[in-house]
Chains A and B, each alone.
Chain A
Amino acid sequence: MIKTHIVPLLDVVRETHDTTTYRFRADIGGEPGQFVMVWIPRQDELPMALSYLGPVKGVTVRVYGDATEAFTSFRPGQRIGIRGPYGNSFRLEGERVLAVAGGVGMASLIAPIEAFSHQGARVTTALGARSAKDLLFVDRAQSAGEVHVATDDGSRGFHGFVPSLSDRLMDRHTFDQVVTCGPERMMKLVVDSALKRNLKVHASVERYMKCGIGICDACALDDRLVCADGPVFSGEALAASEDFGRWRRDKSGRRIPV
């Protein structure tokens, strides 16, 4: 018996021009911030954060290669493989949370945003994207709390990068905890900034993966594994990391710049 759940897609929802959500039913549990390995038959198997928890789960992915491109042509009823959920999760630590998302990083952060709000926390979201048309899950974040938007081109909200926006929010308001997901250099700015203010901060890190279960070493971050020890790491751990914000591994295991 294989432990991969082969499930039909229930719904395929185009979120933005390049980002799609795939919904499926799988009785596998799942905590906010955890990921699953998604087998797109004949294409690839890729790690994806759960963007929807609950009985009908979901993953939300931006097209960034052949497999994710081919995935967009999948229709409800077509089957995919799901194994997991894997990794650790975001935990609520306090009453006032700042969530800082960059681009499709929002796919990882929306589940914790909703979960924290549901647990009674006051959640403020700083959501950044290249342009207004790239903004993801604005409505869901608004239902969970306050939302501030930043776009690189100024087409909506704050004109600039989201770390500048989150810096302003950290200056003006009191938070107990910061959570972030997005491009690594962006997260590094947010982590450094939060640590400077003595705020608890956690970031969800992304790496190329093969196994997802802590053995293949493809997702090594220093001597930790993103799949098994992460994907969520504390700001202190990331500040001490030689790799975070600087180095990752390619498919052969070569160390290359982030």
Chain B
Amino acid sequence: MVDLETDVAGLHLWNPTMLASGFLDETGGSLLRVYREGAGAVVTKSIGPEAREGYPNPTIVELDVGMLNAVGLPNPGISEYEREVKLALKGGAIVVGSVYGKDPPEYARVAASMASYGVQAIELNLSCPHAKGLGTEIAQSEEAVQEFTRAVKDAVHVPVFSKLSPNVSDIAAFGKAAERGGADGIVAINTVKAMTVSPELKMPVLANKYGGLSGPAIRPIGVKAVYDLYEAVDVPVVGVGGIETGRDALEYIMAGASAVQVGTGIVARGTGVFESIKKEIASLLEEVGLASVTEAVGVAHD
């Protein structure tokens, strides 16, 4: 029997799969459903200080290689979101609260409220590549990543994970910056900046023109990022980007991820994707002679 349990900075998970932020996480009902269907933990939609409608549609484009989105951080605001988080927690879910804001004090304020609702960890959305003036600038400055992480770290008593953008030349340096800011873990990667144009209509398809690419196309980018981060930082890394199968998850885990997040994989395989990935990880670990997930973390390194 393969042991699927893992630990991310004190956050104990019965299995290494987590629901990625931005997917089925605007409502408590959906968060709880995904947890009950097999995710080891669920990450909330990125929540800010006030309600935000997001961009007009089209906000997502399905591609043969993945998915492009520019949803624009829609969320009901931290006060309204209390009901949703508490609904999920009451049902027994392990919830990681994803937050954003315009400056360090605002991040800290939203994170403190989120933590007060009872979430087991905080994830910082530093790298949402499609909200002008919100994500992009923070995630692309090492100083900002350190400063924002520090502000939140000082405001809460639960583990803080900084989610990094792949839209930088050296992600390891950003991982170190987050670590200097006190991050208890690193989540990598957020979506890759991308655009698609309709030749027939002679215009970009997304209303926001560009957005973030997710899905199988970005998996090798994410695996490389996690591999580099694992070498560069001492805190645990959570891998995300294009994971649809247990095999995909193990690529990340062997590159150094202590846990993985799944989002776009839900499109291809439904909410049953978490249960499927768990089974596939167990069977593949057994095949290669490893007894547990924790034993597999980072084995791809020399």
B264 in contact (CB, < 8 A): yes
Residues of chain B within 8 A of A211, CB atoms compared: 59-60, 69
Which residues of B sit under 8 angstroms from A42, Cβ to Cβ?
A: 203
Interface-located stretch among B24-32, B99-107, B127-135, B180-188? B24-32
A2 touches B61 (CB 8 A): yes
B71→A214 contact, CB < 8 A: no
Which residue in chain B gives the minimum CB-CB distance to A6? B200
Cβ of A90 within 8 Å of any chain B Cβ, yes or no, is no
For the complex formed, measure the closest distance between the CB of B100 and the CB atoms of chain A, giving whole angstroms: 14
Inter-chain contact B32/A223, CB cutoff 8 Å: yes
A6 touching B23 by the CB < 8 A rule? no
- Contacts A210-B71, A253-B26: A4 and B62 contacting too (C-beta < 8 A)? yes
Bound-state CA distance A105–B52 (Å) is: 30
**Chain A at the B interface: SS class:** loop
Contact assessment for A220 and B61 in the assembled complex, using a CB-CB cutoff below 8 Å: no
Pick from B32, B62, B203, B266 the residue with the most CB of A within 10 Å: B62
Q: Are B57 and A210 in contact (CB under 8 A)?
A: yes
Residue B54 at the chain A interface, CB threshold 8 Å:
yes
Contact at A81–B201, with CB atoms within 8 Å?
Answer: yes
The answer on a CB contact under 8 Å between B201 and A225 is no
Are B63 and A215 neighbours in the complex by a CB distance under 8 Å?
Answer: no
Chain B residues bordering chain A, tally (CB within 8 A): 45
Using Cβ atoms and an 8 Å threshold, which residues of chain A touch B69? 211
**B window 25-57: CB within 8 A of A:** 25-27, 29-30, 32-33, 45, 51-54, 56-57
Interface size on A, residues (CB 8 A): 36
A176 contacts partner chain B, Cβ-Cβ < 8 Å:
no
Complex Cα gap A39–B205 (Å): 9
For the complex, give the distance between the alpha carbons of A210 and B24 in Å. Answer: 12
Q: Is the CB of A215 within 8 A of B24?
A: yes
B contact residues vs A (CB 8 Å cutoff): 22-27, 29-30, 32-33, 45, 51-54, 56-64, 69, 71, 74-77, 80, 83, 196, 198, 200-201, 203, 205, 207, 263-264, 266-267, 270-271
- Knowing that A2-B61, A217-B23 touch, tell me 9 more A-B residue pairs with CB under 8 angstroms: A3-B62, A44-B207, A45-B58, A211-B69, A214-B266, A215-B266, A222-B29, A253-B80, A255-B76
| Chain A residues within 8 Å of B, Cβ to Cβ | 1-4, 6, 37, 39, 41-42, 44-46, 79, 81, 83, 210-211, 213-218, 220, 222-225, 228, 249-255
